[in-house]
Amino acid sequence: MATLDQLRLTHPEIRDDFTIDQHWETYGAAEHGVWKTLYDRQAKVLPGRACDEYLSGLADLKLEADGIPHLERLSDRLEKLTGWRVVSVPGLVPDEVFFDHLAHRRFPAGHFIRRADQLDYLEEPDIFHDVFGHVPMLAHPVFADYMEAYGKGGMRALNEFHALKNLARLYWYTVEFGLIASGDGGVRIYGSGIVSSRTESIYAVESPSPNRIGFDLERVMRTEYRIDDFQESYFVIRSFDELFAETYKDFAALYCKLAGGATYRPGDVLATDHVVTRGTHTYVGGSHAAE
């Protein structure tokens, strides 16, 4: 990750909080075209797979289908719903900067968009992942509160408990790759890393390969994750109210407990797990999932 001084060379106007002006007018036709292609692909696969809360957010925000959204205008719509805004950043930002934005209900979105020949591969989150993947859920009041609480919790984990690894796993298995029970025995997607990826949207809901395990806070915080392939296990929440209730309590004692005891690998299934579907682990993917 680049430092502020390095970023000043390419983004002289960058602020201390790593934000830049989006300068929406500088995106070209090819960049808007990539957004439209990605949007159209997801519009085909998400109905019936993404959760109702995500799909309502997409609709309520009138998220642009034809090109990269103007973040100030999008933020004005989002702010009316939950008080969140979306700010532009060159790319990944340091943990403490990221947490500070979340704690103040600002979501940092990468400025760039992937190239047309890289639709399914990303090394760093781009504006499609950050905006299409994350912003619709920020229109949901409970999820909006969860994200703010996560930002505040991130500061504590970083400065007081040195437990960032544990807390980052919670983000990974909920915000990025979370599933929610659909009520009819199936699951739906709310995780941003899934909703912004065509192949993983189908895989996460339909593939017999991954484990789908009932959400348990301590279990999740002990579980490593893979960043280079589809997930071997997903964790399934029952509701956003439950997720919030489970996490909106003081983690101090939990962090102490986590400092000892086991760490689990991504594909592990434990005797104590509430297994929704047990994976077959037959997936041998050639390509990597875009975030």
Q: Is 281 left (phi over 0), alpha (psi -120 to 50) or beta?
A: left
Q: By CB under 6 A, tell whether 247 contacts ligand PHE.
A: yes
Q: Binds 251, which of ligand PHE, Fe ion, none (CB < 5 to 8 A, cut-off by type)?
A: ligand PHE
Instruction: Cite the beta strand spans of the chain per DSSP E.
Output: 85-89, 106-110, 179-181, 187-189, 211-214, 233-237, 275-277
Q: Which of 108, 153, 178, 210 binds ligand PHE (CB under 6 A)?
A: 153
Site string for ligand PHE, 159-178 (x = CB under 6 A): -----------x--------
Q: Does 32 bind ligand PHE (CB under 6 A)?
A: no
By CB under 6 A, name the one of 110, 220, 251, 290 that touches ligand PHE: 251
Pick from 164, 159, 166, 161: nearest CA to 261: 166
Helices and strands: H and E segment counts in the chain: 14, 7
- Segment interacting with ligand PHE, rule: CB under 6 A, options 55-63, 149-157, 183-191, 203-211: 149-157
Q: What is the largest CA-CA distance in the chain?
A: 55
- Binding site partner of 156, from Fe ion, ligand PHE, none, Cβ cut-off 5-8 A by kind: ligand PHE
229 vs 72: CA distance, rounded Å: 34
- The rounded distance, in Å, linking the Cα atoms of 202 and 207 is 7
Q: Does 36 bind ligand PHE (CB under 6 A)?
A: no
Residues sharing a CB contact under 8 Å with residue 23, sequence separation 6 or more, in sequence order: none
Total site size for Fe ion, rule CB under 5 A: 2
Binding residue (CB under 6 A) for ligand PHE from 65, 97, 103, 149: 149
Quick one: CA torsion of 178, 143, 237, 197, rounded to 10 degrees?
-20
Nearer to Fe ion, 174 or 192 (CB): 192
Residue number with CB closer to ligand PHE (33 or 214): 214
- Contacts of Fe ion in 125-154 (CB under 5 A): 125
Strands 233-237 and 211-214: parallel
Nearer to ligand PHE, 149 or 269 (CB): 149
- Rounded-to-integer distance, Cα 170 and Cα 69, Å: 29
Among ligand PHE, Fe ion, none, what binds residue 215 when CB lies within 5 to 8 Å by partner kind? none
Of residues 182 through 211, those in contact with Fe ion by CB under 5 A are 192
Q: Pick from 36, 156, 226, 278 the residue near ligand PHE by CB under 6 A.
A: 156
Q: How many CB atoms lie within 10 A of CB 286?
A: 4
DSSP 93: -
Nearer to ligand PHE, 87 or 170 (CB): 170
Nearer to Fe ion, 108 or 210 (CB): 108
Query: How far is the C-alpha of 114 from the C-alpha of 217, rounded, in Å?
Result: 34
The phi-psi region of residue 162 (left if phi > 0; otherwise alpha if psi is between -120 and 50; otherwise beta) is left
Residue nearest ligand PHE, CB atom distance: 153
Q: Which two tokens stand for residue 258?
A: 């986590």
State yes or no: residue 288 binds ligand PHE (CB under 6 A).
no
Among 128, 150, 230, 240, binds ligand PHE (CB under 6 A): 150
Sites of contact with Fe ion (CB under 5 A): 125, 192
Sites of contact with ligand PHE (CB under 6 A): 146, 149-150, 153, 156, 170, 247-251
